Amino acid sequence: DLELVALIVAGFGHDAAHPGRNNAFLIKQRHPVALRYNDIAVLESFHSATTVRILEAQGFWAGLRPSAQRILRKLVVENILATDMQRHFNFLQEMKTRFADARENSRDAFDFSQANDRKILYSLAIKCADLGHSAKPWKLHYQWSLRCTEEFFAQGDAEKANGWPVTQIMDRDAVNLPKSQQGFLKIVCLPLFTLAGKVKCDKCPSVAQH
């Protein structure tokens, strides 16, 4: 199934060649990548393009018909672009509205026979995977949290070196790490996984199990 293959490939490639700086930093720096993508979904566009170039170089879809190649490429790019955190809270609101409407009209929120509904669910799935360390057992979650935090601090150091205001959660000299992480889990992660747990799908394991 091309859609599932695209989702898996996007999961592998959604952070391909990540430079360790966020979109805001690259835009402010006027980095060539930011200029290339007109300051819009900079890293997500870069990751998707990098993934596609790697697939092309390796002949990943050489055995597919041209029409299937175009579809697979389009789906991979769409899924990676869905990880843009700039749209995170809009996405959550759209999901809440959909579930509220479904509840009001006594129907399921998603129809798996509809391509657009599946597209939304694939976006939900890759967003959960993108933030997946937050749902892992404590030992793994703690390790990945430290790695992410060190990446943030490195950007904060670079902001200081450039004489810029330091992003609040990236200032190693000022951040309250436990409080910052608690806010991230409660405000960003938990609402996403809560919505994912509401999806009814006979073929999908319950998010609540994880």
A 10 A CB-CB count for 128 gives 19
pTM summary value: 0.94
* 17 Ramachandran zone, left/alpha/beta (phi>0; psi -120 to 50): left
A 10 A CB-CB count for 153 gives 18
Residues 139-173: tens digit of each pLDDT: 999 999 999 999 999 999 999 999 999 999 999 99
Separation CA 5–CA 90 (nearest Å): 27
Q: Considering only CA atoms, which of 186, 193, 188 is closest in space to residue 89?
A: 188
Residues 45-83: tens digit of each pLDDT: 999 999 999 999 999 999 999 999 999 999 999 999 999
Indicate if the pLDDT at residue 125 is higher than 80. yes
